[in-house]
C-alpha cells in the first residue's frame, strides 16, 4: 500500500479522499489555490502545498506544478477526484511517465471512453446494448438527414462525439429541425471539446438516467454495486440521486441484467478502480413493446459525485476500494458479498438560486451548521464564515440520507434539509424541500416538467433580506459589515435575531497567532496562516505532543529537555519559505522530548516537542 498520496482536487471530494486515506493509514498531501488557502480540504490533509493564484489552469489543472508537488512531498500516487484532472488521459499517462501511480483506470481506458463514437463501437462489440444510432461520426447535415430518415427515424438526438454529460446534446423532432440541431451540437462540441464531430441516436421519450457503479482491480476482478437513479436533472446537471432506483422501476431481475452490462463494459476496457456506466432506462422504448430497455450512454472513468448513495446501501467504501485497486490489491468483495439494504438519497447543496433558473449564487457564508442524527451524512467542503468563490463549482456540499425505504428516506431527507443552516448563502435547499414534497417525486417520476416549470421555480424565490434597499448588499460588503444571528430570550421564550453591522470582537491579526496549534480555532477570528490547525489530534496521547504546523527547517531551538515551560512560551523558530515562524508551547509542563535538532528539516505534522505534566484540571 502507498505511504503517501497527493489529492489533486479541492472542496468536498478532496476532504472525502483525505478521510479515506487516513483510514487506510496513508499520509495525505493537499494542494490549494491562493483562493482556497483557508478551506477545509487544506486543513484536513497532513500536508498542504500552495499552487498559487489565478484560474484553475494555473493551479488545480497545472500538470507540471502538481507532479512537482508529488515529487517534493514524496507522494507515490495521485488521486484526481472528479472534474479537474480526472478523465484526462494525458495526465494519467504523465503520472505513469513520472513513476507516480494515477489512482484510476489506465490512460487507455480513459481514452477509449473519451470518444463517444469509439466507446459505442467498443461497447457494441462487447455485447453491451447502445442506443440505436450511428457509431461513426456524421460528417454533414445532408448525411444526417439521410441517416435520420432511412435508419434512425425521428425524433433523433444529435450528440457531440467529444461530449458527455449533455454538452452538445440537441434534439430534432422532425426533418425541419435537424439542421439547427446538427449545427448547434457541432458548435458546442467544438467549443467545449475542440471536436466538432457529431453522431446520431434515436431520441427516447422521457427516459430515466440509470447508472451502474463498478469496481475493478488489477487482477481481472470486476463487480457492480447496483444502480443509481439520477433522473432528476436540470440542464443536464444531476441535482438529486438515489440508490437503488424506485423498486417499481428496477426489479431485482433488471438490476442483475444492467449490473452485468456494467461489468462487461468495464472489462472491455481493462478498467481499474471505481467507475460508472451511465445509461438510459426506458420503460417503453419500442413502438408497441412494454418491455423495459436499457442502453449504454457513456462511462465515467472516475469516482462520481453521487458515489455516496451506493456506499450507504452497500456499506462498501468506494473511495478506499479505488485506492486499494490502484495499489495492486485485490477487491475486498466478491459479487456475492454485495447486498443492497434500504434506500439512500443525495441532494446536491449548490450555491444556486433555483428561482432564477438555477443561477450561480456564490458568496460569503455566515453561521453554518450541518444536519446530523440517524442515517444522515454530509460531505462538504465549506465551513462557517467561509466563502463560495465564483471561480469554482457551485456544489459546496452533499446531503445524503439512508433509511429502510424510499418513502422513509424521503421523510428523513426533508427532516435533514430543515436542520441545515447556511447563513448568508442562497442554496438549493428550498428547491429540494419543495421537490421532495411533490406527488411526482413520491411516484418516482423524472419530474422533467417540474424542473422546467418557470412558475413553480419562481415560487421558490428567496425572501429579500429585511430592510434591504437596492444596493445594500454591495455597500455592506464594502464597509466590511457582517451579519450574525443571535439567540435571545424574551420572557423565557427563545428567538433568533439577525443583526447586521460592522465586525466587532476578536480578530486575530495575520502573523500574530504564532502557535499553529492555537491558530484557527478562535471562533470568528480570522487567523491567517491556519495551516497549523490541521493535525489537531496527533493520535493517542496527542495532547502532549506538539506537531509542527508547517514544513521547513528548524532554525533555532530556545528550550532544552527537562525545562519547565508555560503555555504560550516560545519554544523554537521554524524557517519556512524564507519566513521565520515562532512556535510556542501549546500547554504548560516539562519538556520530555525535543526530537528536532537545529538545522534539521521538519515536515508538517512532525513532533516538535512533547510536554508532560501540569495537566489543567479545568
Ligand atoms: C438522451 C435522451 C433521450 N434520447 N439520449 C444525455 C446526457 C444526460 N445528462 C441527458 N441525456 C439524455 N440523452 C437519447 N438518445 C434524453 C436525455 C435527457 C435525460 C435523460 C435521463 C434523465 C434526465 C434527462 C434530462 C434531459 C435529457
3-state secondary structure labels for all residues of 170-204: EEECCHHHHHHHHHHHHHHHHHHHCCCCEEEEECC
Question: Looking at residue 82, what is its pLDDT?
Answer: 98
Q: Is the CB of 157 under 6 A from ligand 1?
A: yes
Joined grid coordinates for residue 509: 491579526
Q: Is the CB of 236 under 6 A from ligand 1?
A: yes
Question: Looking at residue 510, what is its pLDDT?
Answer: 35
Question: Looking at residue 533, what is its pLDDT?
Answer: 40
Question: Looking at residue 47, what is its pLDDT?
Answer: 95
Which range, of 125-134, 167-176, 219-228, 479-488, averages the lowest pLDDT? Answer: 479-488
Take atom 27 of ligand 1 and give the residue whose Cα is closest.
Answer: 236
- Decide if 608 contacts 546 (C-beta within 8 A): yes
Question: Looking at residue 525, what is its pLDDT?
Answer: 36
**DSSP reduced 3-state for 428:** coil
Helix (H) or strand (E) holding 583: strand 579-584
Cα–Cα dist 384/424, whole Å: 10
Does 581 or 113 have the greater pLDDT score?
A: 113
- Decide if 262 contacts 277 (C-beta within 8 A): yes
Average the pLDDT over 442-464 and give the result: 94
Does 511 or 567 have the greater pLDDT score?
A: 567
- Decide if 428 contacts 347 (C-beta within 8 A): yes
Cα–Cα dist 412/422, whole Å: 19
pLDDT tops 90 at residue 164: no
Cα–Cα dist 221/611, whole Å: 50
**What's the pLDDT band for 246 if we cut at 50, 70, 90?**
very high
Atom of ligand 1 at shortest distance to CA of 133? 15
Q: Give CA torsion, residues 92, 97, 98, 104, to 10 deg.
A: 30
**What's the pLDDT band for 534 if we cut at 50, 70, 90?**
very low
Does 47 or 527 have the greater pLDDT score?
A: 47
Residue whose entry in the numeric block shows the C-alpha cell 439577525? 498
Distance 170 CA to ligand 1 centre (A): 10
**What's the pLDDT band for 538 if we cut at 50, 70, 90?**
very low
pLDDT digits (tens, 9 = 90+) for 47-65: 999 999 999 999 999 999 9
pLDDT tops 60 at residue 315: yes
- Decide if 70 contacts 43 (C-beta within 8 A): no
Cα–Cα dist 253/67, whole Å: 46
pLDDT tops 90 at residue 584: no
Atom of ligand 1 at shortest distance to CA of 131? 15
DSSP 128: -
Cα–Cα dist 417/381, whole Å: 17
CA 125 to chain centroid, in Å, comes to 33
Average the pLDDT over 490-509 and give the result: 65
Question: Looking at residue 493, what is its pLDDT?
Answer: 67
Cα–Cα dist 421/564, whole Å: 45
Question: Looking at residue 479, what is its pLDDT?
Answer: 53
Average the pLDDT over 543-563 and give the result: 88
pLDDT digits (tens, 9 = 90+) for 264-277: 999 999 999 999 99
Mean pLDDT in the chain?
89
Residue 500's alpha-carbon distances to 182, 386, 424, 486, in angstroms, are 52, 17, 11, 11
Q: Is the CB of 346 under 6 A from ligand 1?
A: no
Cα–Cα dist 69/50, whole Å: 9
- Decide if 381 contacts 12 (C-beta within 8 A): yes
Question: Looking at residue 77, what is its pLDDT?
Answer: 98
Question: Looking at residue 504, what is its pLDDT?
Answer: 60
pLDDT digits (tens, 9 = 90+) for 590-617: 999 999 999 898 888 889 999 998 754 4
Q: Is the CB of 116 under 6 A from ligand 1?
A: no
Does 161 or 291 have the greater pLDDT score?
A: 161
Residue whose entry in the numeric block shows the C-alpha cell 481514452? 111
The residues that bridge with 167 in the sheet, in sequence order, are 164
Q: Is the CB of 369 under 6 A from ligand 1?
A: no
Joined grid coordinates for residue 520: 484557527
pLDDT tops 70 at residue 507: no
Question: Looking at residue 617, what is its pLDDT?
Answer: 43
Atom of ligand 1 at shortest distance to CA of 205? 3
Joined grid coordinates for residue 90: 494525458
Q: Is the CB of 199 under 6 A from ligand 1?
A: no
Q: Is the CB of 233 under 6 A from ligand 1?
A: yes
| β-bridge pairing 27-32 and 4-7 | parallel
Average the pLDDT over 313-319 and give the result: 98
Pocket residue to mutate for ligand 1, from 119, 168, 236, most atoms within 8 A of Cβ: 236
Distance 278 CA to ligand 1 centre (A): 11
**What's the pLDDT band for 552 if we cut at 50, 70, 90?**
confident
Question: Looking at residue 435, what is its pLDDT?
Answer: 98
Atom of ligand 1 at shortest distance to CA of 236? 9
Cα–Cα dist 314/344, whole Å: 10
Distance 285 CA to ligand 1 centre (A): 13
Amino acid at each position: 500500500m502507498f505511504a503517501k498520496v497527493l489529492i489533486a482536487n479541492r472542496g468536498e471530494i478532496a476532504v472525502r479522499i483525505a478521510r479515506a486515506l487516513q483510514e487506510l493509514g496513508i499520509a495525505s498531501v493537499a494542494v490549494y489555490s491562493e483562493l482556497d488557502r483557508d478551506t477545509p480540504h487544506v486543513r484536513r490533509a497532513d500536508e498542504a502545498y500552495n499552487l498559487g493564484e489565478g484560474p484553475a489552469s494555473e493551479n488545480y489543472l497545472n500538470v507540471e506544478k502538481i507532479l512537482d508537488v508529488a515529487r517534493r512531498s514524496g507522494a507515490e500516487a495521485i488521486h484526481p477526484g472528479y472534474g479537474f484532472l480526472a478523465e484526462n488521459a494525458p495526465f494519467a499517462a504523465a503520472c505513469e511517465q513520472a513513476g507516480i501511480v494515477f489512482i484510476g483506470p489506465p490512460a487507455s481506458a480513459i481514452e477509449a471512453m473519451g470518444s463517444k463514437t469509439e466507446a459505442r463501437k467498443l461497447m457494441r462489440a462487447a455485447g453491451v446494448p447502445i442506443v440505436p444510432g450511428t457509431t461513426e461520426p456524421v460528417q454533414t447535415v445532408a448525411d444526417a438527414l439521410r441517416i435520420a430518415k432511412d435508419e434512425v427515424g425521428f425524433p433523433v438526438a444529435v450528440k457531440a462525439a467529444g461530449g458527455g454529460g449533455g454538452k452538445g446534446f440537441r434534439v430534432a423532432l422532425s426533418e425541419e429541425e435537424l439542421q439547427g440541431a446538427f449545427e448547434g451540437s457541432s458548435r458546442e462540441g467544438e467549443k467545449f471539446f475542440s471536436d466538432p464531430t457529431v453522431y446520431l441516436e434515436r431520441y427516447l421519450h422521457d427516459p430515466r438516467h440509470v447508472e451502474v457503479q463498478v469496481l475493478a482491480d488489477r487482477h481481472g476482478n470486476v463487480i457492480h454495486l447496483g444502480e443509481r437513479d439520477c433522473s432528476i436533472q436540470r440542464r443536464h446537471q444531476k441535482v438529486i440521486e438515489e440508490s437503488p432506483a424506485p423498486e417499481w422501476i428496477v426489479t431485482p431481475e433488471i438490476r442483475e441484467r444492467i449490473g452485468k452490462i456494467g461489468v462487461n463494459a468495464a472489462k472491455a476496457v481493462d478498467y481499474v478502480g471505481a467507475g460508472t456506466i451511465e445509461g438510459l432506462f426506458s420503460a417503453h422504448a419500442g413502438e408497441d413493446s412494454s418491455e423495459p430497455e436499457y442502453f449504454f450512454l457513456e462511462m465515467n472513468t472516475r469516482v462520481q459525485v453521487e458515489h455516496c448513495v451506493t456506499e450507504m446501501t452497500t456499506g462498501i467504501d468506494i473511495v478506499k476500494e479505488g485506492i486499494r485497486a490502484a495499489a495492486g490489491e485485490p477487491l475486498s468483495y466478491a459479487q456475492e458479498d454485495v447486498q443492497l439494504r434500504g434506500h439512500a438519497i443525495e441532494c446536491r447543496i449548490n450555491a444556486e438560486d433555483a428561482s432564477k433558473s438555477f443561477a450561480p449564487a456564490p458568496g460569503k457564508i455566515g453561521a453554518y451548521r450541518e444536519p446530523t442524527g440517524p442515517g444522515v451524512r454530509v460531505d462538504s467542503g465549506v465551513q462557517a464564515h467561509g466563502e463560495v468563490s465564483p471561480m469554482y463549482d457551485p456544489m459546496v456540499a452533499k446531503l445524503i440520507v439512508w433509511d429502510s425505504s424510499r418513502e422513509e428516506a424521503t421523510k428523513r431527507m426533508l427532516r435533514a434539509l430543515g436542520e441545515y443552516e447556511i447563513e448568508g448563502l442562497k442554496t438549493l435547499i428550498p428547491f429540494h424541500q419543495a421537490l421532495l414534497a411533490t406527488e411526482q417525486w413520491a411516484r418516482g417520476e423524472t419530474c422533467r416538467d417540474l424542473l422546467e416549470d418557470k412558475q413553480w421555480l419562481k415560487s421558490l424565490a428567496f425572501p429579500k433580506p429585511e430592510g434591504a434597499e437596492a444596493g445594500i448588499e454591495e455597500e455592506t460588503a464594502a464597509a466590511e459589515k457582517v451579519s450574525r444571528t443571535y439567540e435571545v430570550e424574551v420572557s423565557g421564550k427563545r428567538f433568533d435575531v439577525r443583526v447586521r453591522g460592522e465586525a466587532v470582537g476578536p480578530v486575530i491579526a495575520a502573523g500574530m497567532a504564532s502557535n499553529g496549534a492555537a491558530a484557527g480555532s478562535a471562533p470568528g477570528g480570522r487567523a491567517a496562516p491556519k495551516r497549523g490547525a490541521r493535525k489537531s489530534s496527533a493520535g493517542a496521547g496527542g495532547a502532549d505532543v506538539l506537531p509542527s504546523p508547517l514544513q521547513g527547517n528548524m532554525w533555532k531551538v530556545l528550550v532544552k529537555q527537562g525545562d519547565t515551560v508555560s503555555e504560550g512560551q516560545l519554544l523554537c523558530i521554524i524557517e519556512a519559505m524564507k519566513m521565520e515562524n515562532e512556535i510556542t508551547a501549546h500547554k504548560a509542563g516539562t519538556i520530555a522530548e525535543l526530537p528536532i535538532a537545529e538545522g534539521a528539516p521538519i515536515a508538517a505534522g512532525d513532533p516538535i516537542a512533547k510536554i508532560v505534566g501540569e495537566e489543567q484540571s479545568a
